[in-house]
Structures are given as structure tokens and as C-alpha cells.
Amino acid sequence: MLDLRLLRADPEGMERRLRRRDPGIDLKPILARDEERRRLSARADELRRKQNEASEAMARLAREGKAAERDALREELKGVAAERKAVEERLQAVERELEAALLALPNVPHDSVPDGTKEEKVALRSWGEKPQFPFSPKHHVALAQALGLLDLERAAKVTGARFPMYTGDGARLEFALLHWMMELHAREHGYTPVLPPILANRASFVTSGQFPKFASEVYACPEDELFLNPTAEALLVNLHRDEVLAEEDLPRKYVAYTPCFRREAGTYGEEGRGLIRVHQFNKVELFQYTTPETSYGALEELVRQAEAVLQRLGLHYRVTLLPAGDLAQQAAKTIDVEVWLPGQGRYYEVSSCSNCEDYQARRGNIRYRPADGGKLRYVHTLNGSALATSRLFAAILEQNQREDGTVALPPLVADLLGKPVLG
RNA sequence: GGAGGGAUGGGUGAGCGGCCGAAACCGCCGGUCUUGAAAACCGGUGAGCGCAAGCUCCGGGGGUUCAAAUCCCCCUCCCUCCGCCA
């Protein structure tokens, strides 16, 4: 949600900035609604004031026993009450329209975000080297199935396509990675661990930005008006919904492990085969509530902490800056970490770190009291995966595979699993 | 799932349809006193919108009324008991 006052103060400038990400955005209808809202609101205020004043007079007349005058005033006030009711009904309708329009607007891209579409992401840096193979590296599905780490056929029987099932050492590897990442962020990076509920209510997903515009991406339990978690970001941003935090308590840093569910409606094809694009995956998510002054520093911190995971696993990756046209609705700036998958000869996103500035804080009414005792301000919220395991799992297999189809585990993983080689 | 009780300001907790943004106590802030502190005493102390006048907010929504924290209806959440259950 954007600040209406900013939209009002500089409509052309705001529209120009928003069109960097979506050329179709038009603020005129919103501003017109806002103008009507303020006009109606002023009229309603005036009528209420008249009523409040008359109410005191009514009370006085009643006390003084002046029944005739009181009755006359009452008759007069019926007209005021009727007009107020009519004005307020109209006002409410306009407010709903305005609210709906505002909820659909995306965040404003930060000035440091380049123009461009999805294909035009900017590579910032890379770490490590592409592993060289004296043979043709295999796809992680081929490796995993040969080693008994994944059972996609039975998963499809139990649930359906694109719901992976980890088996044997695959299940152990997945679980070990999740646990190790939780410990890393909790113990070394200072995050408070959270194991949240996986279903959330409608208000939560409005705050996060999933609703109303992207509701079709979310699995729903309509009987109960509950929805399956698509990313722990959507849960963690609601921890402090409708709260006022103290500046001394910022930043608040949380790390959560959750399964993530996404309908991925309309995405198909060879490109998303195996663990690349699935309806359910596991993810360790970092989340921070900060002051506006410190949020961009926090974004850099999130990226470094996501990178730390890959560095300790010895996996080659690169870091990219998303262009304006590729930002998620709630993000002002996003930096991705992409791991190298030699079986497919390309990089895939394993982490996406975003600063949402006050966009989610406004939707969820999340504020803080400045240390100097000044007015309440909205916090900034940031999220970053560190990491999503499905593609991490794939990268470990593909980057460490040997010609015979076995996998030489990185020392850290070998230690976690108590064996140096899969296969 | 069934029965009952509750939701008021940072906390506890009063509140007859009008004089209630709301008593009291606690907490917090400031002051007096003190070498310093405690105690005691005095004063102050919610938020939003607005240049202001003023308007709004007593879990949420709707209704009755000239007027609702207060009356009616619906919902949510919390507590107790029963049932079921990892």
C-alpha cells in the first residue's frame, strides 16, 4: 500500500516511477476517488459536529425539563441524521473503491533499481567457479532417481505432479540442510527462530501482498477461510501486524522454516522439470523489521547471509539485481542469489532478498515509536530466503556429481549425513 | 462439535442511553524533599486525520435512536466445562 499523501503531492512523479515496473498504471481514477472521499468526509464531519452540539443541548433541555423545546429540536435533528446517514453510505462506498484500488497498486521501485524486464537482470558478482566435468553432467532428477533420493512417481500417486517426495538419504539430506540453516541463522546471525502455523487467514495475506491481486497463486481451504503458506514472508510479516514496536527493539530478526505451497498456475514445460518448479518446497526464510534509515543496510546483510549458506557448501553462484519490471508487487528492491546447475547449464534462483520499505507495514499497520518520543512511524520490512532447499538440493547433486552417477558430498554435508558419498 | 463466561487506555479494572476519550489503582515521565536513592507529596501521561475549528477510535461488522462503551443481531478471539483426538 502506498501513501496517499505522496500520490496526491506528486501524481506525475509517482506515476512515472510506478510505470517503470508496469506501464499500464494509471493514478487518475485513484486520485479522483480520493478527492471525492475527502469532500464527503468533510461533509460528514460537519454533520456529526452539528449532531454532537445538538446532543448536548438535548441533554440540557431534558435536565431542565423543557420537554416542548426538546421535542422540537429532536424533530429538527431527524433531518440531520438522515443526511448524515446518506453521506456516510456514499463515503463508505467510495472508501471501499479507493481501498481496493490502493491494494492493487505495487510498490514504487527504489531509485537504484534499473529499468528493464525479467530478461534484463543485472549480474552483480559471482563466487567460486563453474565445476568442470570430463563427462556430460546429468540432470538432478536422473541422479536422484538412480540414487533413490527422490520418488516422483509415487509422489504423483499420493498427491499429484510437481509434489516431490524425498526418500532415504534424500529425506535425510533435505532435513539436515534445513536444520543446519536454521541453526546457522539463529546462532551465528542472531535471528529468533520461529516455527509458524502453515495456514493463515485472509487478513494476513492482505498484509503480505498476496491478496487480493495474487489470490489465484495460493492454495485455499474455503471451508475454513484459511490459506496455505506460499512463503514464510507472508506469515512473518504478520507477527507484528497492528502493533507498535519500540525503536530500541529494532531491528527484529526472525528465521523460520516452512514448507511453501504455490499453485504455479499456467507454468509448464521442460524448464521447470524435477525440483526446479514445484507446488511444494521447503524454505528457510529470514525476515527483518527495521527503521527506514537502516533498511537498505539490512538488505545487504540478508544477501550476505544467504550467500554464506552457499559458500559453506562450496557451491558456485552469482548475485543479480532485479530490474523494475521483474519486481514482486510488494518489493521496492530485490537482489537474487542464483546457484549454478551444470546439468542444465544455467543459474537458478535459490534466494530472493527484498526490501519492501513501508509497503507491507502500511497494509498491516505495523509502526514503531521513535526513541526520541516523536510521532509513530511505519517500520520497513525485509525478507530473504536462505535458502529454498529444493534447488539447493539439486545444486548439491549436480555440482558434485561424478561420472559413475555418485555424488561426492561437500565436507559440511558429509559431516551432517555421516557419509562422504551418496551412492 | 456442545454448554457457559469474557473482550474498555501501557497493565488491572469501573462505567445509569446524553454532562464519557472514559473513574480508580498500578506503571511511566517531570518536579518537591534527599549527599544519592527509596518512601511520601505535587503535576503530567493513548492514537489517527486536519493549517485550524473540529472529527474519529471502548474486539470487528450491522441495527435501533435526535443521541450508543451502555440496548438488539451477526462475527472473531480468549477462558471454563463436556465430547473427540496427535
Measure A386 CA to B34 C1' (Å): 57
Concerning whether A391 is annotated as a catalytic residue, the answer is: yes
Backbone angles phi, psi at A296, to 5 degrees: -75, -30
pTM of the model: 0.91
**C-alpha dihedral, A50 to A56 to A57 to A61, nearest 10°:** 150
Q: How far apart are CA A259 and CA A234, in angstroms?
A: 12
DSSP per position, A10-79: -HHHHHHHHHTT-TT---HHHHHHHHHHHHHHHHHHHHHHHHHHHHHHHHHHHHHT-HHHHHHHHHHHHH
SS3 of residue A355 by DSSP = strand
Predicted local distance difference test score (pLDDT) of residue A203: 86
Q: Is the dihedral of CA A258, A259, A261, A264 positive or negative?
A: positive
Nucleotide nearest to A70 (CA to C1'): B66
Is A202 in the active site? no
Three-state SS letters, A73-138: HHHHHHHHHHHHHHHHHHHHHHHHHHHHHHHHCCCCCCCCCCCCCHHHCEEEEEECCCCCCCCCCC
Distance A28 CA to B6 C1' (A): 48
The predicted pLDDT at position A269 comes to 62
Per annotation, catalytic residue among A277, A362, A363, A367: A277
pLDDT for res A267: 62
- Closest nucleotide relative to residue A81's CA, C1' based: B66
Beta strands in A206-276 (DSSP E): 220-221, 226-228, 244-246, 252-261
Annotated active-site residue A385? The verdict is no
Candidates A386, A383, A343; CA nearest to A360 is A383
Report how far residue A327's alpha carbon sits from residue A216's, in angstroms, rounded to the nearest whole number: 18
Q: Which nucleotides of B are covered by protein (CB under 7 A)?
A: 18-19, 47-50, 53-56, 62, 66-67
Local mean pLDDT, 10-residue blocks, chain A (423 residues): 87 92 91 90 90 84 78 85 89 88 91 91 93 92 93 90 93 95 96 91 88 87 87 92 82 94 72 80 95 94 96 95 93 95 91 94 86 80 93 94 94 95 90
